[in-house]
Structure 1
Amino acid sequence: MSGRPWKIPESVLVVIHTPALEVLLIRRADAENFWQSVTGSKDDVDEPLALTAVREVAEETGIDCREGSALACHLQDWHLQNVYEIYPRWRSRYAPGVTHNTEHLFGLCVPERLTPRLDPREHTDWRWLPYQEAADACFSPSNAEAILLLPKFVK
């Protein structure tokens, strides 16, 4: 594992959306045509899930939803989780024998379509789509299902 710690098999998925239910998708750099919402694992087993969500949103899009920011009150824990099998191509990032991940769902409502700031090592492109089209464009079934839940969480 070249000295890096194993990934923790507990993560967040953050559906970033507008009030009009347009969803931001970002394309993974390590998998052509793999469009997804913001995702990422905890950095520490004790890291609160909301902090993981805030950190991942900032790292992957440059959008600030930290406590005290204008968007902080728009980050919503959906109190839902998915347990899924980790794709074999990414299992080497986890400790031997780890095959499943628990993903916690969040939503982040932004006032309008924002232009994300991507790290090209992680993501190479972005697009905003109506939520149903965004769900269809996702490579991950759990991500698509989360996006389809969006109307239930918009206030």
Structure 2
Amino acid sequence: MTSPPPKIPESVLVVIHTPDLQVLLIERADQPGYWQSVTGSKDLPEESLRETAWREVAEETGIRVGTAQVPDEALRDWSLRNVYEIYPVWRHRYADGVTHNTEHVFGLTVPVGTPVTLAPREHLRYVWLPWREAADRCFSPSNAEAILHLPQHLPQPLRQPGLTA
């Protein structure tokens, strides 16, 4: 059996939220107690970041972007980039010598009550939390920071006066 090719050190982080700022968090199967938003690396160098976001959201939550319920424009590139050191526990997935990853942040607005179907090999449970509480629960500092930026990145019709991070 051959081992999988090394992961590409370029990924997406997708903050999935409802119009009333409930944020979806998922618990990692390989690290119980580690809560996060949808994340994932590009599968191929030529895969666009938007394609990576669509794929990862579908794989990890069963939510399909580009449907009547979740149209393409519900996925927004926040133009935020995080470069961080890859946790040692996951570094073996990358080529030798790769120590840092570039993460591109997206937001995805979904209707309240959107069904979630987890990939059982990847995640144990999910929860919808108010945005500040979700940020507090994240194990990843970059994920928590992204969630705290949520009010600044809402589409115009969803912005609420006086709501700031």
- Matched residues in 2 for 1:104 and 1:75: separation? 13
SS at match of 2:5: coil
Structure 1: runs of 5+ lacking an equivalent: none
- 8 Å contact from structure 1 (residues 113, 128) kept in 2: no
- Matched residues in 2 for 1:104 and 1:30: separation? 23
Letter in 2 for 1:76: R
- 8 Å contact from structure 1 (residues 23, 129) kept in 2: yes
Letter in 1 for 2:124: T
Aligned position for 2:26: 26
- Matched residues in 1 for 2:79 and 2:60: separation? 22
Letter in 1 for 2:111: P
Aligned position for 1:60: 60
Deviation at 1:46, TM superposition (A): 1.2
Aligned position for 1:17: 17
Letter in 2 for 1:60: E
SS at match of 2:145: helix
Task: Give the ranges of 4+ consecutive aligned residues of structure 1 lying more than 4 Å apart after TM superposition.
Answer: none
SS at match of 2:77: strand
Stretch deviating more after TM superposition (36-45 or 71-80):
71-80
- Matched residues in 2 for 1:110 and 1:3: separation? 36
Aligned position for 1:47: 47
Letter in 1 for 2:142: S
Structure 2: runs of 5+ lacking an equivalent: 156-165
- Matched residues in 1 for 2:64 and 2:141: separation? 27
Aligned position for 1:106: 106
Aligned position for 1:142: 142
Letter in 1 for 2:41: S
Aligned position for 2:160: none
- 8 Å contact from structure 1 (residues 62, 118) kept in 2: yes
Deviation at 1:119, TM superposition (A): 1.1
Deviation at 1:81, TM superposition (A): 0.6
Aligned length: 153
Deviation at 1:3, TM superposition (A): 2.5
Q: TM-score, normalised by structure 2?
A: 0.90
Letter in 1 for 2:30: D
- Matched residues in 2 for 1:151 and 1:113: separation? 20
SS at match of 2:126: strand
Q: TM-score, normalised by structure 1?
A: 0.96
SS at match of 1:65: coil
- Matched residues in 1 for 2:15 and 2:143: separation? 8
